[in-house]
Structure 1
């Protein structure tokens, strides 16, 4: 027997209002990204002609992108950011997994104490100055490890992964142990292949956090060659002379290529990798968040 869903006029009106509101909200969300991209490819003459506001450029130029990639600053910053994001995310997932898996076992001695100590860090912390002193005392200053190690484990992500492990069928691990697998083999050969959704979800969390991080770079780095892309972008916004910040060999280019256009192009370069990766991880993101939040 099949049931046909007949919507009343009131239901259709509600659906129309919801779709309209969501469409307007989506357009409002995407407009800043669209505007930044348009401004990065619009010639300076057209920007001046339209009073600095262009929605539909009649001409397109890629001089801003050629300019920022001809300078050594942006490619070096991207190299640092990609390295920190990849290495940092892998270490984040590894340490978070190695902590969450034993904490998901109720027979672990002292489990409640460790959980309370971990949750305590979500509510209280030593503060910014003690953190800086610890990083300096451990010799991490002016190294990319200062961008990775201080935030190696997120308590929130750790609890999500622990909950996910608790929801896995216990029979699977019991069967693995009957076949002679130890705890490490069970984790890496049985549990992790079943945990792709949560790994992708937390990997996205950690990866985006590393990619967008700039405050740690300002705090711990003095060497400009180690600055990630977000720190370079921040310095560009605060620096009046863009040619000096990017070490542009032809300052006369600023007459045909305004600083705002270079800033917009740098913003596009900074956000594009995340925009390209997210659609591929979206299905794992939604599934991982739902399964990781079944119970506390």
Structure 2
């Protein structure tokens, strides 16, 4: 009887947890579905659509066709890809190269260096000092101003240090006995074992670079260098309705004159979200792999 009662209680707990999780999923996904419905609806029906609608009213790809042809969106997409790809690659290389020696207990002044890293977390400079530094370095209107900022994030560095500390010394010693030099040990032994941690910080760095709009907006006076997030702000926050006027003059799309700014804004928001949503499933598979996966092969 006690076992049956306990089983019934466990089932009730599972049902409550499942209900809460389903409710959270609905609350999270509903705004995205609403934007998708608005962007795919017939432009003539968009003004009457509310914030809870998740089914398109009619069907039209006018918004997506116009976004694909907009020169500011095209430039913003290429700028965002450049900043994100180059920035993330440099972040990973520099973070890994710094984390590995700091994970070795025999490193001279290891504790001092680690304290200096922690200080950068507590006493982070503001945007105004950053701006003056970039101006003195001559990096205004230069992609390096946003790519090189936080080349090594202290939080992500700590994550990687803790992960590297779990690599057994036996594996390193075995590689050294086989004649591997320190670089080969790092490249062929340590990094393959660190795929879950590298995937984690890769996702963090990608999201940071892709979503960053404040620094590009401040450092880039040339609008041709604006990433997609700054273009999004121009359309959504500032309300630059001239974007649609420019589209109507630029292309001969028959539905251009009927485009509603509400639908254009919904499509633009989704357009900036799609790359991150697409890359997440590719990185997710590494989260399920353990540190020692394949270590003894």
Q: TM-score, normalised by structure 1?
A: 0.89
Match of 1:9 in 2: 8
1:218 and 2:220 matched: no
1:166 and 2:165 matched: yes
Match of 2:280 in 1: 278
Further displaced range: 254-263 or 20-29: 254-263
Q: Are 1:71 and 1:246, in contact at CA under 8 Å, matched by a contact in 2?
A: no
3-state DSSP of counterpart to 2:34: helix
Query: When the two structures are aligned, how many residues end up with a matched partner?
Result: 287
1-side partners of 2:78 and 2:107: how far apart?
A: 42
2-side partners of 1:207 and 1:192: how far apart?
A: 19
Match of 2:148 in 1: 149
Match of 2:264 in 1: 262
Match of 1:294 in 2: none
2-side partners of 1:198 and 1:253: how far apart?
A: 48
Matches within 5 A, 1:1-80: 8-50=7-49, 54-80=53-79
3-state DSSP of counterpart to 2:55: coil
Cα deviation 1:223-280 (Å, max 9, x = unaligned): 1111111000001113344234884243896651111111111111111111111122
Compute the displacement of 1:70 (Å): 1.2
3-state DSSP of counterpart to 1:250: helix
CA 1:187/1:174 → structure 2, altered by over 3 Å: closer, same or farther?
same
Compute the displacement of 1:211 (Å): 0.8
Compute the displacement of 1:85 (Å): 0.9
Cα deviation 1:101-160 (Å, max 9, x = unaligned): 111111111111100000111111232221111111112111111111012110000011
In structure 2, runs of 5+ residues without a counterpart are 293-297
Compute the displacement of 1:56 (Å): 2.1
Compute the displacement of 1:8 (Å): 2.4
3-state DSSP of counterpart to 1:59: coil
Match of 2:127 in 1: 128
2-side partners of 1:59 and 1:227: how far apart?
A: 34
CA 1:52/1:206 → structure 2, altered by over 3 Å: closer, same or farther?
closer
Compute the displacement of 1:9 (Å): 2.0
Q: Are 2:141 and 2:225, in contact at CA under 8 Å, matched by a contact in 1?
A: yes
1-side partners of 2:51 and 2:98: how far apart?
A: 52
Compute the displacement of 1:176 (Å): 1.4
Further displaced range: 243-252 or 76-85: 243-252
